[in-house]
Structure 1
Amino acid sequence: MSATPSRRPRFGLATPVHLAVLALMAGAVHAQSGPNDSPAPAPQQESSTTASGSSDARESKALPQVVVTATKRASSLQKTPVSVTAISASTLEDAHVKNLLDVFNLVPSMQGTGQGDHGIVSITLRGIGNDSAKTEYADPEVALFVDGVFAPRPEGAATLLFDLDGVEVLRGPQGTLWGRNSTVGAINMKTAKPVLKDQSGYFEGGTGSYNRLGVKGAVNIPLTDTAAMRVAFMHEQHDGYVDYQKPTQYTLAQQQAAYSASNGGSLAGFQPINYNLFVTGGPKYNAQDQTAARLSFLWKPTSQFRWDLSLEQFADRGTPAMSLMQTPRAGQNFWSALIDTAPTLKRDSTSVRSRMEYDLGGMALAYVAGYTHFKGSGTYDQDGGVNVPTSFTTGATYQANNTVWTSYRSSSHELTLQSTEKQTIDWVLGLYYAAEDNAIRFDIPIMNGTQQGTVSWQGSFIQPKETVDSKAVFGQATWNLTDAFHVTGGLRYTHDDRKNIGGRGWTWAGNAAAPQIPLNPTIDPTDPANGYTAGNINDAHYTGSKTTWLARAAYDLSKTQMVYGSIATGYKSGGSGDGGLLYGPETLTNYEVGYKTTLWDGRMTFNVSAYHMKFKDFQFSAPVIVNGNRQFAYSNAEGAKVSGLEVESAVLITPDDRLQFSASYTKTKLGQLVAASNDYALPTCFDATLGGNCVDVTGNDLPHAPKFALQLMYEHTFPLSNGDQIAPRISFHYQTANWLSVFNLGEGDRQKAYSTADISLRYSSKKNWYVDGFVRNVSDEKIKTSAGSSGSYANNPIWSAQYAPPRTFGVNAGYNF
């Protein structure tokens, strides 16, 4: 067993990261302290110019006001009648947030997991998510935006969160204003923008467990009196968590006996196992190696016009997350696996985002546009080494899930016109258009025993062109009946057009003349000589449209208290799966009431909301076997019901003591659905006409929905006599047990109740440098985020699971200039 060598950032001379570093160094050399003549930002919008966290809240006698854009206009969080969590730049820094997986514990009713074979992040909000939203087919229920630009594919959710002004998580249907696939919520990441006439920035470097190395920084550079530029970059890497197991090596006689027993007593065709095919060195699973850079421009030639433009590059050279045996094999460590497919992950994306705003006097016109090009590939050990081969064709199964290539291009355009000055009726009107063009080749070779064995099944899913076109028109208006009473109504009409052109599932045809070797990128499955046939014809065309609406009333009980109630509908487009089979759209109605208040002269906020969601035609998707062919299929459940309660509070106990609290209660029930999945060992279908293996999951709880979850954060600042500060911080998370799939199959399919804590200690100097040490998952809890089983349902199947990271620690040091 060989350890993975420590890797260094690869900053090529022509890469955007190299340019970002050079610009940052130049800015640091020439940075001058001077007045900022640009208009002051809203008081709640914390600047990301510093990475050390703002001390304003600690020096103030009140909590800073938080401004959000949940209603497509800037408003105080405490005056916004929406269930929204606003996470500031300093909170992201304090919580050591690097990607979306780090955000989940900061938001009520939010859960998430990394998916292994595609290396993506799956998001669940208020008990609703889609674990299968990892292919070119599936759409998530939670929409992800960056600066208001929709990110359609789940690979985007794994990108680094760097140099942000903050993150807003909107819970409940947001389709009226936010559009596509925001069935149960939307996440908007707001990047730090350039500032006029200001030269400043920061740089941070860190190290930690598993050979972690991280660097990040940003510099704001004034270009003219009306233009500015911001350069930001980040690199994070660590070695993988999963060690390689050495295979059990059977003697030649033992291998021959096992082979003979499965081959009618004959040794014809016998081969000894080539144990060199097992991976025992090189990069490990669950490694991170991600780099990102962003170049942002601001042009503000007049007080009426502003143009923000950014170019962002992201590169991922880490490895996928490995599923581990829930009960390790005797003599093996928990964080280890018997691997016969080496992990690789290569993903690159380029994104351009633009926002133009023009003040028309009482009205504002805005045009938001975005474009993303993504391409990638990867290899993944799907069998997970849960069984040890007893001969080259017996005792185990070799299965790899390999993304040979994938790419997509997406673009979106949104034009809005809205009132600005407060009027009797505040309104916003908008037009929206988005387009996607997806392509993928995804191979699944499955061999009996080892890679040397005979073919069990193998196929190549080649989708050369799958397109999405979505058009929408929307409007929302708030009638201010009095200074305290406000009524809002909104409508959105959406038309979706989805096509699969030329998609084929090429499957092994059992051609005796073709070599029985694992499918790999050098094999063209479309050539009949290689032994494959078109098992699935995936050509399909889906069109559909839907009108969604919102009705809401809000009443200000006083200057510091408000109540609201709303009824909103949500919609997610239908589409097609393998075989060209169409499935219908998913819709829901959400009923919600809420209360927000500010107490103790602004030193405490307390927000609570209760909701009930009723789904119709809830979409369920999974890999299945139909007539011997493996394919990705969709079903529309009769519906689902979800009810819950969410509480959030922040308290400035003293100028040196901060406390944040959030909690959620969630109750779910799935409507009528008979479900199947290749990811689980399931019983034979109760209905012989259905065939195969399936479970009636009607009435089951939805996955990733603990009934109760609690998050606490406490920080105390110790001021030192020289003006420096020391601030210890602890975050505590507790949640009750939750299922990991709709099947509700017992302890293997369940994450038990658990609690975990993160701690950190920050030293901040008045000379603008800081050192921050941290430990995450202090108690080293083993937290399952998804599960699967293999073998026979009736004969103790073997359970595996994806897990949240083990205990990690690190230290960062930075300087603000």
Structure 2
Amino acid sequence: MTSASSRRPAIGLVTPVQFAVLALIAGAVQAQQAPDTPASQTVAQAAPQDSAPQGSAGANATTTADGKQALPQVLVTATKRSTSLQKTPVSVTAINSQTLDDNHVKSMLDVFNLVPSMQGTGQGDHGIVSITLRGIGNDSAKTEYADPEVALFVDGVFAPRPEGAATMLFDLDGIEVLRGPQGTLWGRNSTVGAINMKTAKPVLRDTSGYIEGGVGNYARMGIKGAVNIPLGDTIAARVAFAHEQHDGYVSYQRAPNVSLASQRAAYDAYVAGGGKDVGFQPINPNLFVQSGDKYNAQDQTAARLSFLIKPSDKLRWDISLEQFADRGTPSMSLMQTPREGEKFWSALIDTAPSLKRDSTSIRSRLEYDMGGMSLAYVAGYTHFKGSGTYDQDLGVNVPTSFTTGATYQADNTVWSKYTSHSHEVTLQSNERQTIDWVLGLYYAAEDNGIRFDIPIMNGTQQGTVNWQGSFIQPKETVDSSAAFGQATWNLSDAFHVTGGLRYTHDDRKNKGGRGWTWANVATAPQIPLNPSVDPTDPANGYTAGNINDAHYTGNKTTWLARAAYDLSKTTMVYASVSTGYKSGGTGDGGLAYGPETLTNYEAGYKSTLLDGRMTFNASVYHMKFKDFQFSAPVIVNGNRQFAYSNAEGAKVSGVEVEAAYLITPDDRLQLSASYTKTKLGALVASSNDYALPACTTLTGNCLDVTGNELPHAPKVSLQLMYEHNFPLSNGDSVAPRISYHYQSANWLSVFNLGDGDRQKAYSTADVAVRYSSKRNWYADLYVRNVGDEKIKTSAGSSGSYASAIWTAQYAAPRTFGLNAGYNF
């Protein structure tokens, strides 16, 4: 097995990355030789103000017409048109490229602290990221079935499967996080919000770019860069790439050292108690992983080629091709209380980690100005394939013999694939009128498939079969179509009323899906299920436990009503009522579940103060859910399956605040804070991920969670960032900054099971200092999670309800490093 430190970038992306590096070098040379550009032309061609250059100190300030320093105007596309953030009556967080760079954002896991009411966690067995917003999320949105509660878009193209949230974030103009239901304009699965990542676009008649490299602890190495290449007066290209890798955080514990006499005694007792006598064997220590890639390692590479074609002032076409490869490892759940003598960041591993994911995405936006209104067509295509292995027994128990004292359980994604494409046509007014309007048609389709194996053996891989199954879903399709419209009546210069409607029709099919489970056939080989075993062959001892063929159709009309009033040129208030919707569907066994709907009541305030040096935005909301969807792995009639149920409802209320303050031209302060209160409606819930008491109303184990708080919803969350810029006499500058995060205690599941199921209140900080040279190079030294806090993001338990062994996923430990780059 290859050691972690010897990992190389994914082979499939070596060629695009090499091409990108060559393009960067060529661009740098051309930039050095290019003649000076007239100042007026530079202004006309400059990127938007929320697209600060990489590594640019002080990029979050601008100079007003009267020569004063102020915060730059931020433009957002939350209403499907470009508007000022401070004039947009929506709860939206806009994170520009400089803020992403300052916070060393590499994936969605790095974004959560920057947005009020936003939480998230990595899900180890599928290697994905789940997102929670305003207390609502779906930890089980990691399968080919489940849909997320928060819709993820890249350049307006919907990313339907959760793997999309784990891809690299690189060469972005910024990220917009829209809080609250966005069903009218943004469509399906935006039940409580939508995230739109905006990639950096090519610029006509401009040669520029940047390149950055970095190192850090855990053998971290990273490189990223981009170059803008003019291809004539009407065509430009942009090449961008990124590679990030670091060793895993989780060390391997030594193989168990159990005396041979003790092993034999344990085996004899097992046989005497009715266990199958298969002949004693000593524990094979080679079955426990001792070297190679560790869990929680990163090894990701991405490249993007973008084109801008603008033959006239009226026609613009942006198109991009993006390739992503992941050869890292899943994140491991750790014992919350380590075994005596073992390190916290370690585990007894009997399944080596692996993750192999590749995706190809094409995104296109074609826009034509028709004079007074514009026509746009946005299309996207993504093809994904992947596989992975994960140690699902988590090493919580030590075997006492080869078939007693523990279980061996692996969660193996033998293969997974999905293909999706989407199309949206909009026609909208593009000049201020008495009524500003937008009309649209939307269609999206998915074709997904997966084989997911769960072998469970008594004791070790040598032991007898406990249970095992293969979930093979060869073809699951989703077709979603919608028509929508929204209009804003400008009743006066200050008073604006908005109404919107969207009709959505969903069609979902599972064709040929089967859950093949161990049938305990005496003649079948007692070996762990693996990719070489065909579970559809009766000779191998499996039977079709679940018949998953099913067909679901449904439709829903969602709506928005909003009023906004400008108290002054710099202050506005707004209030809205909106509805959200997430489609129903079918789960294992073809069992149907209903759609989820909600009504959101919201009021907001936005103000720009102190001659533009301060912004203060606040919102208050109350959400009422109906038929809130809950999903979890369960056992039904001896068969393991993924089950869905609809809770009676849920209620969520909260307050969110965001502020930015340019104290002096060299001092910048940012604040985001939230208060969230949640309550779940009537629901009796079950899950294999937790040790629960025996049911009184159902078979198996379950718990009445009616009235419980929702998970990943701390009542109080606070993020504070301060930066000071020290100008040097030679024209260079040094800018130290600190980001402080606090959040109160929060539950990690709907079961609210005590300390093991709870992350206590905590504080953490990131610090950094950036040196910026007037010669366009910079260096950035950083430390993240300075206090090395152990922050639980999800939890689980095994054993008995009375004496459960608790495990958890954790945020990254303390990391530090150095980045250096050059802008040209």
Aligned partner of residue 400 in structure 1, secondary structure: strand
Is 1:234 paired with 2:242? Answer: yes
Is 1:797 paired with 2:804? Answer: yes
Pairwise CA distance, 1:251: 1.2
Pairwise CA distance, 1:22: 1.8
Counterpart selection for 1:613 from 604, 607, 623: 623
Pairwise CA distance, 1:26: 1.7
Identify the residue that residue 206 of structure 2 maps to in structure 1: 198
* CA deviation map 1:600-648 (0-9, x unaligned): 0000000000000000000000000000000000000000000000000
Aligned partner of residue 17 in structure 1, secondary structure: helix
Identify the residue that residue 821 of structure 2 maps to in structure 1: 814
Partners of 2:228 and 2:2 in 1: CA distance: 44
Aligned partner of residue 380 in structure 1, secondary structure: strand
Identify the residue that residue 623 of structure 1 maps to in structure 2: 633
Identify the residue that residue 270 of structure 2 maps to in structure 1: 262
Aligned partner of residue 15 in structure 1, secondary structure: helix
Identify the residue that residue 346 of structure 1 maps to in structure 2: 356
Pairwise CA distance, 1:15: 2.6
Identify the residue that residue 147 of structure 1 maps to in structure 2: 155
Which range moves more in the overlay, 262-271 or 23-32? 262-271
Pairwise CA distance, 1:21: 1.7
What one-letter code is carried by the residue in structure 2 that aligns with 1:57? A
Is the CA contact 1:789–1:798 (under 8 Å) kept in the aligned structure 2? Answer: yes
Counterpart selection for 2:189 from 181, 191, 196: 181
Partners of 1:135 and 1:4 in 2: CA distance: 28
Partners of 2:245 and 2:464 in 1: CA distance: 39
Partners of 2:707 and 2:96 in 1: CA distance: 39
TM-score by length of 2: 0.97
What one-letter code is carried by the residue in structure 1 that aligns with 2:50? E
How does 1:446-525 map onto structure 2 within 5 Å? 446-525=456-535
Counterpart selection for 2:674 from 649, 664, 679: 664
Partners of 1:736 and 1:563 in 2: CA distance: 29
Identify the residue that residue 276 of structure 1 maps to in structure 2: 286
Which range moves more in the overlay, 109-118 or 1-10? 1-10
The change in CA–CA distance for 1:207 and 1:601 in structure 2 (over 3 A counts) is same
Is the CA contact 1:621–1:634 (under 8 Å) kept in the aligned structure 2? Answer: yes
Partners of 2:762 and 2:170 in 1: CA distance: 30
Partners of 2:2 and 2:598 in 1: CA distance: 52
Identify the residue that residue 559 of structure 1 maps to in structure 2: 569
* CA deviation map 1:754-781 (0-9, x unaligned): 0000000000000000000000000000
Pairwise CA distance, 1:40: 3.0
What one-letter code is carried by the residue in structure 1 that aligns with 2:391? D
Counterpart selection for 1:85 from 93, 112, 121: 93
Aligned partner of residue 521 in structure 2, secondary structure: coil
* CA deviation map 1:436-483 (0-9, x unaligned): 000000000000000000100000000000000000000000000000
Identify the residue that residue 30 of structure 2 maps to in structure 1: 30
What one-letter code is carried by the residue in structure 2 that aligns with 1:88? N
What one-letter code is carried by the residue in structure 2 that aligns with 1:17? V
Pairwise CA distance, 1:269: 1.2
Pairwise CA distance, 1:3: 6.7
Which range moves more in the overlay, 28-37 or 336-345? 28-37
Counterpart selection for 2:444 from 430, 434, 439: 434
The change in CA–CA distance for 1:80 and 1:42 in structure 2 (over 3 A counts) is farther
The change in CA–CA distance for 1:645 and 1:13 in structure 2 (over 3 A counts) is closer
Counterpart selection for 2:131 from 114, 120, 123: 123
* CA deviation map 1:467-517 (0-9, x unaligned): 000000000000000000000000000000000000000000001101010
Partners of 1:574 and 1:81 in 2: CA distance: 30
Aligned partner of residue 810 in structure 1, secondary structure: strand
Is the CA contact 2:212–2:225 (under 8 Å) kept in the aligned structure 1? Answer: yes
Partners of 2:22 and 2:700 in 1: CA distance: 60
Is the CA contact 2:737–2:767 (under 8 Å) kept in the aligned structure 1? Answer: yes
Aligned partner of residue 391 in structure 2, secondary structure: coil
Is the CA contact 2:49–2:72 (under 8 Å) kept in the aligned structure 1? Answer: no
Pairwise CA distance, 1:360: 0.3
What one-letter code is carried by the residue in structure 2 that aligns with 1:413? H
Aligned partner of residue 800 in structure 2, secondary structure: coil
Aligned partner of residue 40 in structure 1, secondary structure: helix
Is the CA contact 1:35–1:198 (under 8 Å) kept in the aligned structure 2? Answer: no
Identify the residue that residue 55 of structure 1 maps to in structure 2: 59
What one-letter code is carried by the residue in structure 1 that aligns with 2:515? G
Unpaired runs of at least 5, structure 1: none
Is the CA contact 2:52–2:96 (under 8 Å) kept in the aligned structure 1? Answer: no
Identify the residue that residue 773 of structure 1 maps to in structure 2: 781
What one-letter code is carried by the residue in structure 2 that aligns with 1:29? V
The change in CA–CA distance for 1:66 and 1:676 in structure 2 (over 3 A counts) is same
Partners of 1:208 and 1:58 in 2: CA distance: 33
The change in CA–CA distance for 1:523 and 1:33 in structure 2 (over 3 A counts) is farther
Aligned partner of residue 259 in structure 1, secondary structure: helix
Partners of 1:39 and 1:296 in 2: CA distance: 22
Is 1:323 paired with 2:327? Answer: no
The change in CA–CA distance for 1:502 and 1:521 in structure 2 (over 3 A counts) is same
Is 1:648 paired with 2:652? Answer: no
Identify the residue that residue 378 of structure 2 maps to in structure 1: 368
Aligned partner of residue 692 in structure 1, secondary structure: coil
Aligned partner of residue 601 in structure 2, secondary structure: strand
Identify the residue that residue 20 of structure 1 maps to in structure 2: 20
Is the CA contact 2:617–2:657 (under 8 Å) kept in the aligned structure 1? Answer: yes
Partners of 1:204 and 1:711 in 2: CA distance: 27
Partners of 1:421 and 1:204 in 2: CA distance: 41
Partners of 2:699 and 2:498 in 1: CA distance: 50
Aligned partner of residue 161 in structure 1, secondary structure: coil
Identify the residue that residue 753 of structure 2 maps to in structure 1: 745
How does 1:750-761 map onto structure 2 within 5 Å? 750-761=758-769
Aligned partner of residue 450 in structure 1, secondary structure: coil
Partners of 2:139 and 2:728 in 1: CA distance: 49
What one-letter code is carried by the residue in structure 1 that aligns with 2:37? P
Pairwise CA distance, 1:30: 1.9
Identify the residue that residue 336 of structure 1 maps to in structure 2: 346
* CA deviation map 1:714-750 (0-9, x unaligned): 0000000000000000000000000000000000000
What one-letter code is carried by the residue in structure 2 that aligns with 1:35? T
What one-letter code is carried by the residue in structure 2 that aligns with 1:732? Y
Aligned partner of residue 5 in structure 2, secondary structure: coil
What one-letter code is carried by the residue in structure 2 that aligns with 1:555? Y
Counterpart selection for 1:46 from 31, 45, 50: 50
Partners of 1:58 and 1:310 in 2: CA distance: 31
Partners of 2:35 and 2:719 in 1: CA distance: 40
Pairwise CA distance, 1:6: 4.1
Pairwise CA distance, 1:53: 5.1
Pairwise CA distance, 1:46: 3.0
Identity percentage of aligned residues? 80
* CA deviation map 1:320-342 (0-9, x unaligned): 00000000000000000000000
TM-score by length of 1: 0.98
Query: How many residues were matched structurally?
Result: 814
Partners of 1:51 and 1:678 in 2: CA distance: 47
The change in CA–CA distance for 1:247 and 1:33 in structure 2 (over 3 A counts) is farther
The change in CA–CA distance for 1:21 and 1:48 in structure 2 (over 3 A counts) is farther
Pairwise CA distance, 1:349: 0.1
Identify the residue that residue 110 of structure 2 maps to in structure 1: 102
Aligned partner of residue 61 in structure 2, secondary structure: helix
Pairwise CA distance, 1:696: 0.3
Pairwise CA distance, 1:17: 1.8
Partners of 2:416 and 2:10 in 1: CA distance: 23
Is 1:536 paired with 2:536? Answer: no
